[in-house]
Amino acid sequence: MILNNVKLILFFIHTFKQSICVNLNNITLTDIKTLQNEYPNIMRVMLKDHPYYIFSYNELKYCPVHFSHLVDCERVPYEGIEIKDSILEYVVDDCIRYKRYDLGYAIIVNAIESLGFTYMYQFCEFAIEMNKKGANISNFLKIFSKNLKSKIMPIFNKEWISPEPYECILNVYKEHKHKYENYEFNKVDEKYMSDLLICKNLMKDKVHFLSKPPEKSMNNMSEQNLISIQMNNNTIIQELLTIGSGPFKDITGYKYETSCLGDTDHHSGKIGKIHIFLPCGHGWSCENCIVLNEQCPVCHQQITDLLDLQPRCFLDGREARCISCRNQIKDVHPPSKHVMMPCGDGWYCSKCIDNKNCTICRRECKDKLCVNL
């Protein structure tokens, strides 16, 4: 038993140290093969005509790239690749055959994005319609939450798909929790339904790119039919979104990519770790440049130590969220990012950094660092 636990720990250490770097301006065949191997089940789905994922520009059909980041080439032409009513695997095979790797990569991730958004969108619709009937959805909410945490969000984080709709739903149930015991929404609540509608609107342009789950209006459906659809959607998301134990990805090649203070030619997606200067908290610097710095290049304060962090913390252009209270840092005053010392976990907002123990590793907080990027 102990030996098996040791093997498991070593496996996770090995997996954590692995590095996959994808340059969005230079997608390779290896990048596509990696996606195909990681998400084999979704490769079987059929793609539908879609105004967002298959849009016209100057009489040509294009695919949006990249789903949550600005890149030099923000769209790629389909150039004769048949998409509508085609199996995703066959579409990607055609892309590989014609060496359209950027298109193949974008289509796979767009399919993943649309599947996840469609599931969240239809749950919001399900919750709204059930609330109109004064029906309790607490058990369905537990299943939905489990699928979000174990299926959708790990994949969205790994593939760098925007979590904004997920965070919207999270905030809705956080806001309304105090009004109901155990999230038992068993009476009509106009504000609750209105808040869910806002979340739906965040996703409406990106849903139903795939043939399943099927597009159905839940308006005025019976409670039994609503439950049947939601249960079917749970099954679909569990079957299609399977993911291996691969590492997070470092993404490069998009506009406004954060550069090392020591050398603007170095980007965090191309290196293993980045360094924050102590005690001032400015950063960041890559391992290639840190040996050249005795003073902080920003404030010229003497560097006495370093804090090592993963590149993903800084490459992602999305708003930072506190790992303790889950509020966006920008909404907390003062809107500053902190990491807890000595563990180095973050981000914490200016209020939660005063916690006695780290939310992630539970180590005692000895000090804190305000990071200035």
Cβ atoms of 274 and 285 within 8 Å: the answer is yes
Give the contacts of 184 (CB within 8 A, at least 6 positions apart).
136, 138
Cβ atoms < 10 Å from Cβ of 58: 6
- pLDDT confidence of residue 290: 64
Element (H, E) at 289: none
Composition of the chain by helix, strand, coil, percent to 5: 45, 15, 40
- Identify the residue whose tokens are 């990027």: 373
Burial of 116 (0-12, 13-18, 19+ CB in 10 A): buried
- pLDDT confidence of residue 14: 34
Comparing C-alpha atoms, which of 252, 298, 304, 299 is closest to residue 278? Answer: 304
Cβ atoms < 10 Å from Cβ of 240: 23
Give the contacts of 316 (CB within 8 A, at least 6 positions apart).
160
> What φ, ψ does residue 258 adopt, rounded to 5°?
-65, 130
364 forms bridges with which residues in the sheet?
357
Comparing C-alpha atoms, which of 311, 324, 327 is closest to residue 361? Answer: 324
Tell me the H-state helices in the chain.
2-17, 29-38, 88-97, 101-132, 138-147, 153-159, 164-176, 190-203, 223-240, 312-315
Whether CATH 3.30.40.10 fits 253-371: yes
- Identify the residue whose tokens are 């005690």: 279
Give the contacts of 212 (CB within 8 A, at least 6 positions apart).
45, 236, 240
Q: Reduce the DSSP state of residue 166 to 3 states and report it.
A: helix
- pLDDT confidence of residue 110: 95
The domains of the chain are located at: 18-252, 253-371
Cβ atoms of 275 and 290 within 8 Å: the answer is yes
Residue 111 exposure: Cα atoms within 13 Å on the Cβ side: 32
Phi-psi category of 157—alpha, beta or left, where left has phi over 0 and alpha has psi -120 to 50? alpha
Ranges of the chain whose pLDDT falls below 70 = 1-20, 66-72, 243-273, 287-288, 290-293, 309-319, 326, 373
- Identify the residue whose tokens are 């459906």: 221
Comparing C-alpha atoms, which of 79, 74, 73, 113 is closest to residue 94? Answer: 79
